[in-house]
Structure formats: structure tokens, C-alpha cells
Structure 1
């Protein structure tokens, strides 16, 4: 029987109350806001409510957040999300964040592989996509390495800290 969401090094799992401090730190890191749609800080109360009430059914909430657990380090090293799930067109966006202390250890590659296997093999999603700032060369390389193809560039799409930024659109169609 095939297993999803884990390998020898990593486990992808739902957020737990113990993840509050990690999520609080990540969601309130203003240097990361330019990559998403966050416009103001999250309180611990709001994040606690999210964790306790999060609907982990992608067909209901249209999104899934996973915590990335390192089995070796026995800690959370990041998050990976399916978002904007569209059940009619059967596609979802992918977002990933690896804590700075754990970058460059292969966690992003492994977590993205696990998410792709889960999305295509279990959820039977037809297509995954990612919006990546063109200056984020590490993410461009990561998604390209795992078979995503760049299908376009959205000019001046996201406001960065000081100017508008171009966003590369990457897509991966299920085999």
C-alpha cells in the first residue's frame, strides 16, 4: 500500500497547537509579506483560532496547510500549502516556506516532492501552479528541478518592499 505525506526524513502534517510560536514568527516576519497577501500582523489569538478551527478538507476550505517536520531534527522546519484549490478545473497553487535556520538542507525539495505525490496520487489534482518572484532564484530552481515549467511572467504583479515585482508563473500537469 502506498503511503503519502512522509518519507525517511520528513513528515507533512496538520498544524497543532504546539505550532503556534513557529507560525506566529513566520506569519509576522514582515520581510516575507511581499511574497503573499499579508498586510498586517497576526495575533497569537487569531493564529490559535486558525489552528483550532482550520478545516483540513480541501474540498471545503479550498486550501490545506501542512507543517514540515524533520524526523532527524525532531522539529518543524517549515510549512507547505495548497491554496486556491479549484475543484472544477482541478488545480491548486503551491506555497512553501522553510525556516532560515533549516534552509539549504534539502527540506524544500523533499517537502515539495511529498506534496506533489499527495496532490496527484491521492487528491487526483490535475495541475499545480506557483507564483514566484523572478528574483527568487532559489525557488525558481526548486520548482524547475521538480518538473514545473515556467509558462509566463506577470509584469509588476506584486508590490515588494519598495517597488513592484515581476512574478514567474510555474505549472506542473499531472502525469
Structure 2
């Protein structure tokens, strides 16, 4: 008998609330707009992103609305990462669910002033653990700009394996960039030493 991923997603009563020792993942709220704007308007955070930095707070408001709508349709789960004081310090997303192949993609961003503290690793680890256990996913993929050494270290520490380079995949403004694909299997996660 196969696992029914669409039914599992549809049965979620709300954003899954996930906790680490220093972070928690929760659904976005409209009052998170200032923090979301601060995150996605930071040129350091957006340096290797597939879109340019936000320039207007209204973009953050719209992004939160899109996150909430996508969850309502169960197209993606786009959590905000909050610290112990509930201040938003990043995002973590599972998206492009593929029920037949039990696969999804992963994305994440963290405020640049919080880099190097293990917070992204902790938050992403919670999302991965939940996805493999609760959604019975077989594979999770992530793609990064190959120049993004920080993100590469996070993925490798979580057990992801680099599986190849896609040349000139994204246009960000007028610049084109490559992307590197990473994959993590449920068996890698269960047997991993993170």
C-alpha cells in the first residue's frame, strides 16, 4: 500500500509547528511583514537567490499572503523561522511536492546577522525530520548557486549529496547564474550522523 501524500497534506489542520532548541518553525502572519522585508531586502541574503532583493515593504506583505495561500492550497509549506522571542529570523520551505515519486524541494533563508550560529541547520533539520516522518517522503532536493559556500556546508552537514550542475538556469535581473542540485534520501536521513 502506498502513502497518500495529497491526503496527508490536506489533513493538516494548519502549519505544522516545529521546534528546535533555539528555533521554531511556524506559519507566517501579516505582522511578520517588517521582519520578512528585512530578510528579503538584505543584499547579503539575496546574493545567491533566484530573484533580486525586495525594495518595498508591500512586497513582503504580498509574499506572506502568497505563503498563506499556497499552504491553504497545500502547494507548499513556507514556514517562518522564529527565535525564542518569536522574532522572525528566516524562512524554510517545502515545495514542488511530487506525490507519485514521494519527492519535494527545500528552500531556506536566514538573516545575515544570524549566520554562523547553526540556526539554519537546526531549523532545516526540523523540517526535514518532519517531512520524512509525517509525509513519508522518499527524496528531498535543494538547489543552490554553486558559489554559495555557506549553503553548501549546511546541506552537506545535513547529509545532502551534490548531484550535478545546471548551467545558466536562473536570470536574476540581467545576470544569469548556474545552479547546483543536491539530493537527500529518506534512508540517508535515517542512517545519517548529523
Other structure's SS at 2:66 match:
helix
- For structure 2, which runs of at least 5 residues remain unmatched after alignment? 1-15, 188-194
Task: Describe how 1:11-50 pairs up with structure 2 within 5 A.
Answer: 11-29=24-42, 32=46, 35-37=49-51, 43=58, 46-47=62-63, 49-50=65-66
User: In 1, distance between residues paired with 2:17 and 2:54?
Assistant: 34
Other structure's SS at 2:18 match:
coil
Deviation at 1:66, TM superposition (A): 0.6
Deviation at 1:24, TM superposition (A): 2.6
Cα 1:138–1:161 shift into 2, 3 Å: farther
- For structure 1, which runs of at least 5 residues remain unmatched after alignment? none
Deviation at 1:103, TM superposition (A): 1.1
User: In 2, distance between residues paired with 1:18 and 1:123?
Assistant: 29
Deviation at 1:125, TM superposition (A): 1.3
Q: TM-score, normalised by structure 2?
A: 0.75
Task: Describe how 1:73-112 pairs up with structure 2 within 5 A.
Answer: 73-112=85-124
More divergent stretch after superposition (42-51 vs 101-110) = 42-51
Cα 1:48–1:23 shift into 2, 3 Å: same
Asked if the contact 1:34–1:158 (Cα under 8 Å) also holds between the matched residues in 2, the reply is no
Asked if the contact 1:4–1:117 (Cα under 8 Å) also holds between the matched residues in 2, the reply is no
Q: TM-score, normalised by structure 1?
A: 0.82
Deviation track 1:13-38 (CA, whole Å, cap 9, x = no partner) reads: 11112211112333445662752256
Deviation at 1:161, TM superposition (A): 5.7
The aligned length equals: 169
Asked if the contact 1:68–1:111 (Cα under 8 Å) also holds between the matched residues in 2, the reply is yes
User: In 1, distance between residues paired with 2:64 and 2:158?
Assistant: 33
Deviation at 1:143, TM superposition (A): 0.2
Deviation at 1:136, TM superposition (A): 0.3
**Greater than 4 Å deviation, 4+ residue runs:** 28-31, 37-42
Cα 1:125–1:74 shift into 2, 3 Å: same
Cα 1:29–1:4 shift into 2, 3 Å: closer
